[in-house]
Amino acid sequence: FYSEDNGKIMGLGYILEWEEVENATGYELRVNEQTLSSEEARFDLIHQVRVGQESEIWIKAKGNGTTYVDSEEVKYTVTPKRADYGFSYEYDSELGGYLVSRGESTKTDIAFADRTHGNPIIGVARRGFDKEYTGVDVTSVTFSPEIKYIFSSAFSGTSMNSVTIPGTVEILYGSAFYVCKNLKQVTLEEGIKTIGISTFYNTAIESIFVPSSVEIIDPRAFNSPTLKTIEVSENNEYYCSIDGNL
């Protein structure tokens, strides 16, 4: 949200951030008749605003009572919109973030945001986008840099033909891309640590490169009839390839 005279407020999920005011000792917000305070130029409004509901937000910078006085209030009227295409999120307290699944989304080319409800989206839930389970066929996926876990059967049976797994992903759980028969090109970026059982079972992969960061590969991770060669980074301390074999 932008105000030419008073700077800008930027929304990320329900987190609002605004330009810091020099010499301010803090900020006071009024949201839907609630008065709130923040020491930083940001605030999580998860309990104050709702998707589709118009809210008035008044913000002022607080002075120190002597040298600097409070600023005038600036009013913003906002209506938060759903930016996740109807995805469903479940918070995992042990992992410290949200796991995403299809929810009500019917999109086939999907991309994940970094955060929702003020917390990171750290994984794709078990069977989250499994074609048989959800009834929706994913044709492409773009992962955010926050994703650390792709759980079992997350994209089983989908029709994507290529995928890049970012290096932020620590674990690819078993059957994550099980029977993705059109999946021919897979890029595993540096940083991935574990590749589970049948992760790429019965895909169309002909060759794959394993980066140096990978520490655990289940013997059946790449069990696919089309696979001809597996190459491993020469810097990998746990695996090597000989004549295209792991």
Average of pLDDT values for 146-171? 96
Average of pLDDT values for 93-101? 93
- CA end-to-end span of the chain, whole Å? 52
For β-strands 55-62 and 26-31, DSSP reports them as antiparallel
Token pair recorded at residue 70: 């409070």
Cα 164 to chain centroid distance, Å, stands at: 14
Q: Alpha-carbon dihedral of residues 138, 142, 145, 148, nearest 10 degrees? A: 30
Per-residue pLDDT of 116-148, as tens digits, reads 877 889 999 999 999 999 999 999 999 988 899
User: Are 190 and 164 in contact, with CB atoms under 8 Å apart?
Assistant: no
Q: Classify burial at 228, counting beta carbons within 10 Å of its beta carbon; exposed 0-12, middle 13-18, buried 19 or more.
A: exposed
Give CA angle at 94 (89, 97), nearest 5°. Answer: 35
For β-strands 109-111 and 74-78, DSSP reports them as unpaired
Kindly indicate the confidence band of residue 107, based on its pLDDT and cuts at 50, 70 and 90: confident
Cα 242 to chain centroid distance, Å, stands at: 36
Per-residue pLDDT of 170-191, as tens digits, reads 999 999 999 999 999 999 999 9
Residue the block writes with tokens 């940083």: 191
Q: How far apart are CA 193 and CA 121, in angstroms?
A: 19
Cα 223 to chain centroid distance, Å, stands at: 28
Predicted TM-score (pTM) of the model is 0.68
Kindly indicate the confidence band of residue 97, based on its pLDDT and cuts at 50, 70 and 90: very high
Neighbour count for residue 181 (Cβ, 10 Å): 14
Q: Phi-psi region for residue 83, left (φ > 0), alpha (ψ -120 to 50) or beta?
A: alpha
User: Are 124 and 151 in contact, with CB atoms under 8 Å apart?
Assistant: yes
Residue 230, helix vs strand vs coil: strand
Per-residue pLDDT of 33-71, as tens digits, reads 889 999 998 887 767 877 667 888 999 999 988 888 999
Of the ranges 6-20, 74-88, 116-130, the best mean pLDDT one: 116-130
Q: How far apart are CA 222 and CA 231, in angstroms?
A: 12
Q: How far apart are CA 105 and CA 82, in angstroms?
A: 11
User: Are 123 and 112 in contact, with CB atoms under 8 Å apart?
Assistant: no
